[in-house]
């Protein structure tokens, strides 16, 4: 069985992430979307809230699982017995950072391979940060995130 982990902060999941998930789910028999508790960011949603939103958005994709993890990604992958990490590559500017992370992860765990997938061009400029900013400033989120995420952001920011 070919398994892979698509790891990220997902604060929140966007249509760009979902596009990578759909592509990954076509290639792998099982794709685990792994929500990092320790990504060095200061997230709006808790890891459980982020995972819950991803579950809602991927409920129809049978071979996708969603989990949260703390600590190093490669250690989590080892515990899960998965040796492929999927990352999205949106633009050339993502490349340097992604290469650094892939090579660092390789140094930490030679047996784990990182592969890159390009989301649809329409989503190449979308990031979780700009989605959060649009939400905070009252803009329309519907072209950037799935409906359950738009609703959750509105609820969170109005509470």
What are the residues binding ligand COA (CB under 6 A)?
Answer: 7-9, 11, 14, 16-17, 20, 36, 38-39, 72-73, 88, 90, 97, 101, 104-105, 119, 123, 126-129
Query: Which CB atom, from 59 or from 103, has the smaller least distance to ligand COA?
Result: 103
State in angstroms the smallest separation of the CB of 81 from ligand COA.
17
- Whether 90 is a known active-site residue: answer yes
Q: What number of helices (H) and strands (E) belong to the chain?
A: 6, 5
Helix (H) or strand (E) holding 69: strand 64-69
85 in Cβ contact with 4 (< 8 Å): yes
Query: Which CB atom, from 80 or from 101, has the smaller least distance to ligand COA?
Result: 101
Catalytic residue among 50, 87, 128, 132: 128
- Whether 41 is a known active-site residue: answer yes
Query: Which CB atom, from 36 or from 149, has the smaller least distance to ligand COA?
Result: 36
31 in Cβ contact with 148 (< 8 Å): no
State in angstroms the smallest separation of the CB of 93 from ligand COA.
10
State in angstroms the smallest separation of the CB of 10 from ligand COA.
7
116 in Cβ contact with 98 (< 8 Å): yes
Report the distance separating Cα 88 and Cα 106, nearest Å. 17
State in angstroms the smallest separation of the CB of 138 from ligand COA.
19
* Phi, then psi, of 133 in degrees rounded to 5: -65, -40
- Whether 70 is a known active-site residue: answer no
Report the distance separating Cα 25 and Cα 120, nearest Å. 15
- Whether 81 is a known active-site residue: answer no
Per DSSP, 134 falls in state: H
> What amino acid positions are annotated as catalytic residues?
17, 41, 90, 128
């Amino acid at each position: 069985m070919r398994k892979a982990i698509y790891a990220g902060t997902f604060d929140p999941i966007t249509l760009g992430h979902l596009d990578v998930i759909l592509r990954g789910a076509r290639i792998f028999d099982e794709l685990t979307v792994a929500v990092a508790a320790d990504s060095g960011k200061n997230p709006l949603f808790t890891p459980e809230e982020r995972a819950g939103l991803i579950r809602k958005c991927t409920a129809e994709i049978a071979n996708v699982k969603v989990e949260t993890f703390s600590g190093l990604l490669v250690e989590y992958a080892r515990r899960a017995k998965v040796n492929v990490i999927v990352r999205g590559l949106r633009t050339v500017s993502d490349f340097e950072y992604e290469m650094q992370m892939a090579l660092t992860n390789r140094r930490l765990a030679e047996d784990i391979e990182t592969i890159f997938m390009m989301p649809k061009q329409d989503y190449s400029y979308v990031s979780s940060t700009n989605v959060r900013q649009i939400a905070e400033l009252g803009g329309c989120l519907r072209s950037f995130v799935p409906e359950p995420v738009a609703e959750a952001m509105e609820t969170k920011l109005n509470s």
